[in-house]
Amino acid sequence: MRRIAQSEPTPEAVLSGQVSVDLSAISDNIKALKKRTAAPHFMAVVKGNGYGHGLVDVARTAVAAGADWLGTAQLSEAITLRQAGITVPVLSWLYLASQTSATIREALEYDVDVSLGSVGQLEVLAGIAEQLGRPAVVHLELDSGLSRGGARKENWPELVAQARKAEQDGTVLVRGIWTHLAWADVPAHPGNAAAVAEFEDAVREARAAGLDPQLRHVSSSANILDRPEFHFDMVRAGLAIYGLAPADHLDPADFGLRPALSVTAPLVMVKKVPAGTGVSYEHQAITHEPRYLGLIPLGYADGIPKGISGRSLVQIAGRKVPVIGKVCMDQFMVDLGPDASGIEVGDTAVLFGDPAGGAASADDWGAAIGSHGDEIINRIAPRLPRVYESSAYECPDYQEAPSDVA
Ligand SMILES: Cc1ncc(COP(=O)(O)O)c(C=O)c1O
């Protein structure tokens, strides 16, 4: 049984291509990853609409597979999880601290833990918590070198002192301390050990100030696979749960991980062209001999990178054929070669998916444009319907969310 998610797509939308998400791959990946860590807690990072796989479906699958925490960047994503009836702890780490923020208020009401990286944020959270009559549960973030969120080490003593004071006032409860590594995707880089040493100092300082953080967390996917000494009390797994390579030297298959997402589209036209035929805008490609061209109804409006032309292969009827000519907004062409026998209009073209099935992977596409698989999967446009394999319903505690969750 397959299920088409999001707003019911029109038949034309389905005919123009789809994103298939194999939730059993996400489930299996999480189980495999959990075996690689002794950390007592496992966070599945489901930000960015579950890395394009679908926020709520991924979250439910992750929880059923043993993730006891979920992580989102935006508070709105965390609120969506709660509104879907998901009750496991959720940490959210990116928000505009404003005393009048209805989103922060709602997140706190929904028991969402939030990251805290400055005294300014602390004042706002404490103020809102006071109005609500309950403490904001926070994870203090150390900026250990990424220069993104979090407090730098010179600002850390003031943050922990103020957090302790707010705990005593009953407006804040510090549940965790965390950092995100600048060299997260290069596990062997010496910058990681230096950042972790700084993190351990920060935890010591927090404890000396009277805080009692239960959860120390540092590692994302690459360090889950490669640096067990960085796992602390919880790991935060993103890319690896989706079966993508978290670092250039780490092949997901070596760790029993497989991609969950594939993008397919029907071949909507096959035509024979003579030698010397220009293909697509500005005739970026020109045939040297009579060739067959195939037309795929997906383009950069669907998230297909323009840079993929001439650099990647699409699988059709068991053959791998190159993308040629400029990728257009809604369509692109493939070179079916001098002989297209065995290929017909309506055949399914697999753009990328599980390499075990012979297709290119999202990582291959990422490498082809000088990036990584995460950029490829995250840019797939919402207009493409997501179709979920039936395995979602086999998750032991899978249940449809009630439509009227308060
Ligand atoms: C704070 C934080 N933790 C964990 C992750 C997961 O990283 P990865 O997808 O490499 O596992 C991310 C993603 O960028 C992140 O921003």
Confidence check: pLDDT of 404 > 50? no
> Is 309's C-beta closer than 6 angstroms to any atom of ligand 1?
no
Q: Which atom of ligand 1 is nearest to the CA of 224?
A: 11
Asked about 110 being catalytic, the answer comes back as no
CA nearest to 314, candidates 291, 294, 339: 294
Domain boundaries, the chain: 23-241, 261-384
Long-range own/partner contacts, residues 355-361 (CB < 8 A, 24 or more apart)? 355/253, 355/259, 356/253, 356/258, 358/315, 358/318, 358/320, 359/262, 359/315, 360/312, 360/313, 360/314, 360/315, 360/320, 361/244, 361/259
Burial class (CB in 10 A: 0-12, 13-18, 19+), 398: middle
pLDDT tens profile 294-322? 999 999 999 999 999 999 999 999 999 99
Give distance in angstroms: CA of 220 to centre of ligand 1.
Answer: 5
DSSP 142: B
The residue among 66, 72, 61 whose CA lies nearest residue 22 is: 61
Relative to the CA of 236, which ligand 1 atom is closest? 4
> Which of 31, 271, 272, 281 is the catalytic position?
281
**Candidate list 47, 51, 95, 300, residue with the active-site label:** 47
Cα–Cα distance for residue pair 338/149, rounded to 1 Å = 54
The pTM for the full model equals: 0.92
pLDDT at position 393 is 41
Whether the CB of 126 sits within 6 Å of ligand 1: no
Nearest residue by C-alpha to atom 2 in ligand 1: 180
Nearest to 378 by CA among 51, 58, 20: 51
The arrangement of secondary structure in 23-241, i.e. its CATH architecture, is Alpha-Beta Barrel (3.20)
Q: Which fold has domain 261-384?
A: Lyase, Ornithine Decarboxylase; Chain A, domain 1 (2.40.37)
C-alpha Rg value of the chain to the nearest Å: 24
With a 6 Å cutoff on the Cβ, whether 180 touches ligand 1 is yes
The torsion angle over the Cα atoms of residues 234, 236, 240 and 245, rounded to 10 degrees, is -110
Please give the pLDDT value at position 390.
57
pLDDT at res. 337: 97
